[in-house]
Chains A and B, each alone.
Chain A
């Protein structure tokens, strides 16, 4: 008989008959067997067979297991044989997973981000840092754990094979995607971050700082980005408080009587609070508000003196607001969340608050963004979304038309703001004047939440968001059914049913969580109706305000596969494209009706996905021209980025898809040249988006910067300011000539004093 056996790691160990007997007994036991001696007897048969086959050779584990299977079947123990085979398969699967996981972790540990695509999956995480790597370990291990133990095998198979893509799989069992944080509601009365209570902000500076903290805290409770739908309305009360403080400050500077100061500032603050609590619209900077301030000051002062004090206070408030916005932009580009590996993905929506306070917020956040960061860098966050609305912020004569013009100017320089269009019919349907929560707000990436099947009386943006989303690989369906539309729609229906089922299974896991699992999101009442729940309550009911979203990418490639052209090339393709997306929307709507849940359809942003699907499809179908021959599939319903088309036509062709994708959409226009030198044309593009029914759009133009001389603009091969090539050095003298390299930080007095002390030194 064999004296030894070769294990999988090629170690040779002594052969033990008892181990085989034990394995057979365990398999029998799982089927209700209890006869140990029978197992030993069968093990002896195995041994005899091994003798005959291998003599003094060394069999390996797999060969021994094959013989055990055979012996069990031959001896008529079919059930035990089946259990043994299942057990063996399970062990193999786990072993494979272990090896795969360890290989993944090894790559994350030892490869640079530049050589490891996995580490560049998310462009805003630095995969080379300690915390970035730690985050990646967790993320990859979690994904493989869910695939092994938690996901329905049908879903995990479809995901692995690339029929569908389950987004944010690493957070599968943990949380939901994103929320529109209503900061107005959050700030009223103060809030708790879990590490201490924060009082209601009493100035624009602290309001702006707390807005950042709210974004940061909520980002730690969810896996997606965070957005503020009412940035202007939400920070306006901070401006009013700063103004009252500044009145008090100016009075103090003029040595006013302390009692008078207290009664003036205190009286104004009390009035402000009364109006706010009663929900009455009141603006201290409006003409009526200013009359109240004037009469309060005139109790002791002459009208001229009072007006002078009010002017000074207003100037200071404007400056405070600018500094607060500058601080906010800096904070959102430097503060970290998620184990310090990520800057929060933040978005802010504004543009429709016409009060002087709200306008002060809008103006200054735009100006601070235009100025850029410390060295003039373009801020990456927050994403700004300017709300365009006829009668408010769109046409000449609208109260915020000047803000719209400023938004265009800043976007032409800094790529932000993007523009959301409240007049697009599908957005206008929800708009109720005087109720900012009914204004559409977008998550920066494009997610949109407004309709509400679960509670039709709450069709609002605030306090809601996406729960999870899963995308369908449209090009693959096109490739599988070239020229066969019936087959295509048939399989599309199957895939959509699969996605619905998967979204619901994930919802079940999310729903069984408790408020304490989302200490900020649910604990502080950010999510709609969560303020009615206690820490041990399930979040099941309130989560129903969120959306369950089906996504898609590569409509263009799908159309090419089906009929040879994409929707930029022929009206026939456009017609079919709309038919496909309308079909998907109708399926989602029907599922929504059936379940009273918010099933929606999104044109997927396709972070890492655009490359993954095409890689898998190229293996299956080869490199098919204009379908799988590039390294990426086209984002959502976009016209392919490489296809020459005018801005007007691109907007015209993409707009109808915005009406269909109620879970989110965006249209980009790429422009050449420096948009700052032609703001009229820039504005014309935005107006065309408005007029043609785009919901959310933005204009892309290259923003380059030379960190050496500080030039920001378009840089081709050579920096237009200092003349260096990429990576090239230039003489310091040249640089100094260009930008006054050495900054004089001393006052003129200090310089002249130094000159007297060291007369021979050239300063």
Chain B
């Protein structure tokens, strides 16, 4: 059986891992604006975000 070139590449790639080093995006609202990455928060904002507690749960009520 003959494989075309791209297939070999795909098979090789299948063995490899994708997404290494890619962080989850965590969108938060702080001081009124949304920010897509906590990395750009200044230290005070990071601390504030970390301390937040929830005021109610919206899990489906039974």
- Is this pair of chains taken from one and the same complex? yes
Using a CB–CB cutoff of 8 Å, the interface residues on chain A facing chain B are 113-114, 117, 120-121, 123-124, 126-127, 345, 377-378, 380-381, 383, 415-416, 444-446, 605-608, 610-612, 614, 630-632, 635, 641-647, 650, 666, 668-675, 677-678, 681-682, 685, 698, 700-709, 715, 719, 724, 726-733, 735, 758, 760-762
- Kindly provide the distance from the CB of A506 to the nearest chain B CB, expressed in whole angstroms: 22
Contact B55 A670 (CB under 8 A): yes
Known pairs A611-B47, A707-B19, A729-B19. 10 more at Cβ < 8 A?
A: A117-B42, A123-B40, A124-B33, A381-B34, A383-B32, A669-B56, A681-B58, A681-B61, A707-B22, A715-B26
Contact B34 A445 (CB under 8 A): no
- Kindly provide the distance from the CB of B45 to the nearest chain A CB, expressed in whole angstroms: 7
**Known pairs A445-B31, A631-B43; A671 contacts B52 (CB<8 A):** no
Contact A630 B47 (CB under 8 A): yes
Contact A705 B19 (CB under 8 A): no
Residues from chain A with Cβ under 8 Å of B13 in the complex: 732
Contact A673 B43 (CB under 8 A): no
Contact B58 A673 (CB under 8 A): yes
- Kindly provide the distance from the CB of A593 to the nearest chain B CB, expressed in whole angstroms: 30
Residues from chain B with Cβ under 8 Å of A672 in the complex: 54, 56-59
Interface centre among B7, B47, B56 (most CB of A within 10 A): B56
**Known pairs A614-B44, A732-B13; A380 contacts B58 (CB<8 A):** no
In B1-59, the 8 Å CB interface with A consists of: 1-4, 7, 13-36, 39-48, 51-59
Residues from chain A with Cβ under 8 Å of B60 in the complex: 673, 677-678
Bound form: Cα–Cα A645–B55 in Å: 6
Bound form: Cα–Cα A644–B21 in Å: 35
Residues from chain A with Cβ under 8 Å of B31 in the complex: 445, 605-607, 635
Q: Enumerate the 8 nearest inter-chain pairs by beta-carbon distance, A residue then B residue, closest first.
A: A611-B44, A729-B17, A729-B20, A708-B19, A631-B47, A445-B32, A673-B59, A647-B55
Bound form: Cα–Cα A444–B14 in Å: 46
Residues from chain B with Cβ under 8 Å of A677 in the complex: 58-60
Interface of A (DSSP majority class) = loop
Using a CB–CB cutoff of 8 Å, the interface residues on chain B facing chain A are 1-4, 7, 13-36, 39-48, 51-61
Residues from chain A with Cβ under 8 Å of B35 in the complex: 123-124, 380
Contact B19 A608 (CB under 8 A): no
Contact A731 B33 (CB under 8 A): no
Residues from chain B with Cβ under 8 Å of A728 in the complex: 19-20
- Kindly provide the distance from the CB of A719 to the nearest chain B CB, expressed in whole angstroms: 7
Bound form: Cα–Cα A381–B14 in Å: 37
- Kindly provide the distance from the CB of B17 to the nearest chain A CB, expressed in whole angstroms: 3
In chain B, what residue has the closest Cβ to A642?
B51
Residues from chain A with Cβ under 8 Å of B3 in the complex: 760-762
11 CB < 8 A contacts A-B: A378-B34, A631-B48, A641-B53, A643-B53, A670-B55, A671-B54, A671-B58, A727-B21, A729-B20, A735-B18, A760-B3
In chain B, what residue has the closest Cβ to A716?
B24
Bound form: Cα–Cα A698–B18 in Å: 37
Contact B4 A760 (CB under 8 A): yes
Bound form: Cα–Cα A671–B56 in Å: 5
Residues from chain B with Cβ under 8 Å of A416 in the complex: 34
- Kindly provide the distance from the CB of B9 to the nearest chain A CB, expressed in whole angstroms: 11
Contact A730 B33 (CB under 8 A): no
In chain A, what residue has the closest Cβ to B56?
A647
Contact B24 A646 (CB under 8 A): no
In chain B, what residue has the closest Cβ to A762?
B7
Bound form: Cα–Cα A124–B29 in Å: 12
Bound form: Cα–Cα A642–B48 in Å: 8
Bound form: Cα–Cα A117–B46 in Å: 11
Interface centre among B19, B30, B42, B55 (most CB of A within 10 A): B55
Bound form: Cα–Cα A47–B26 in Å: 69
Bound form: Cα–Cα A709–B19 in Å: 9
Residues from chain B with Cβ under 8 Å of A612 in the complex: 44
**Known pairs A641-B53, A703-B27; A731 contacts B22 (CB<8 A):** no
Contact A117 B43 (CB under 8 A): yes
Contact A670 B54 (CB under 8 A): yes
In chain B, what residue has the closest Cβ to A630?
B47
- Kindly provide the distance from the CB of B43 to the nearest chain A CB, expressed in whole angstroms: 6
Contact A675 B58 (CB under 8 A): yes
Residues from chain B with Cβ under 8 Å of A381 in the complex: 34
Contact B42 A608 (CB under 8 A): yes
- Kindly provide the distance from the CB of A448 to the nearest chain B CB, expressed in whole angstroms: 12
In chain A, what residue has the closest Cβ to B30?
A123
**Known pairs A635-B31, A704-B24; A670 contacts B52 (CB<8 A):** yes
Contact A415 B58 (CB under 8 A): no
Residues from chain A with Cβ under 8 Å of B36 in the complex: 377-378, 380
Contact B33 A708 (CB under 8 A): no
In chain B, what residue has the closest Cβ to A606?
B31
Which residue of the partner chain, among B18, B39, B44, B56, contacts A729 with CB atoms under 8 Å? B18
**Known pairs A416-B34, A707-B22; A114 contacts B39 (CB<8 A):** yes
Bound form: Cα–Cα A729–B14 in Å: 12
Residues from chain A with Cβ under 8 Å of B26 in the complex: 702-704, 715
Which residue of the partner chain, among A608, A671, A732, A760, contacts B55 with CB atoms under 8 Å? A671
Bound form: Cα–Cα A678–B20 in Å: 34
Which residue of the partner chain, among A126, A678, A701, contacts B40 with CB atoms under 8 Å? A126
In chain A, what residue has the closest Cβ to B13?
A732
- Kindly provide the distance from the CB of B56 to the nearest chain A CB, expressed in whole angstroms: 4
Contact B27 A611 (CB under 8 A): no
- Kindly provide the distance from the CB of B38 to the nearest chain A CB, expressed in whole angstroms: 9
Residues from chain B with Cβ under 8 Å of A644 in the complex: 53
Residues from chain B with Cβ under 8 Å of A642 in the complex: 51-53
